[in-house]
Amino acid sequence: MGIVNVTPDSFSDGGQHDTTESAVRHGRLLLAQGADLVDIGGESTRPGATRPLVAEELDRVVPVIRELAGEGALVSVDTMRAEVAEAALDAGARIVNDVSGGLADPRILDVVAGSDATYVAMHWRAHADRMRDFADYEPDGVVESVRRELGERLDAAEAAGIPRERIVLDPGLGFAKRPHHNWELLAALDVLAGLGCPLLVGASRKSFLGSLLADEGSPRPVDEREHAHAALVALLAARGVDYLRVHDVRATRDALAVVAAMSPDEGEER
């Protein structure tokens, strides 16, 4: 899943693809590099970000979705808003990637239920400007808490009429999570897979990688985290993670090629 942020303020690439023309061009590049689908978002969810107006978000994503879907691309919309999800589906999106799992706008579940789109429900506790205040997972610990809360979102999506076979779950790395919480979740993805849905993981360029690679206490800059992410991608692919949401498609494809070459089924072809 290649990321196209049509925003001025995303943590990694804010402002780089904030016009329709540049976003479409970047989406085409990601597809050419081997992305299976592109995820179009018009709202930054970096820590501390403020929300755009609904009209702003619509103006950012709908033209890009219409253009890329019209060219035959499989397109996902990254939104928490029912209005945006509905307009995106009308424009040709086939997946709704909701980082709030329906908590920010419960009507989004009804929108997806009325379509044949896939729904991605992420673990989420609060909007970006407040989420750092919600990173307490005592007494149960982060793995059990996320499993329980994702299970509640799965139940809500099914109750709204979205079939389980069209639901994907995301542990929400970096969202109301301290660095060690992310590593604990990554080590226990089998627990989350036990909920019975495919898993999506979005670790690309996130701050917990920067903290891991910190030099003299300063986190590694955003644009210098890709080597660590490629290593993580290889591990995740080997463990059967279904969707990888990434900025650098080429590096991800390289890591996946290594995993494929090392798999027993590929031995004769090597």
- What are the catalytic residues? 206, 245
Q: What is the CA radius of gyration of the chain?
A: 18
* Sole residue written with tokens 């300063």: 218
d(C-alpha 267, C-alpha 44), whole Å: 43
d(C-alpha 113, C-alpha 107), whole Å: 10
Residue type, 173: L
From residue 186, alpha-carbon distances to 105, 160, 232, 238, 255 in Å are 27, 29, 9, 13, 17
Nearest Cα neighbor of 245 from 172, 196, 158 is 172
d(C-alpha 52, C-alpha 68), whole Å: 23
On whether the CB atoms of residues 78 and 96 are closer than 8 A, the answer is no
> Alpha helix locations (H) across the chain?
20-32, 54-70, 82-91, 107-113, 142-160, 179-187, 189-193, 207-212, 226-238, 249-262
From residue 253, alpha-carbon distances to 34, 152, 227, 250, 263 in Å are 7, 33, 13, 5, 15
**CB atoms < 10 A from the CB of 22, how many?**
15
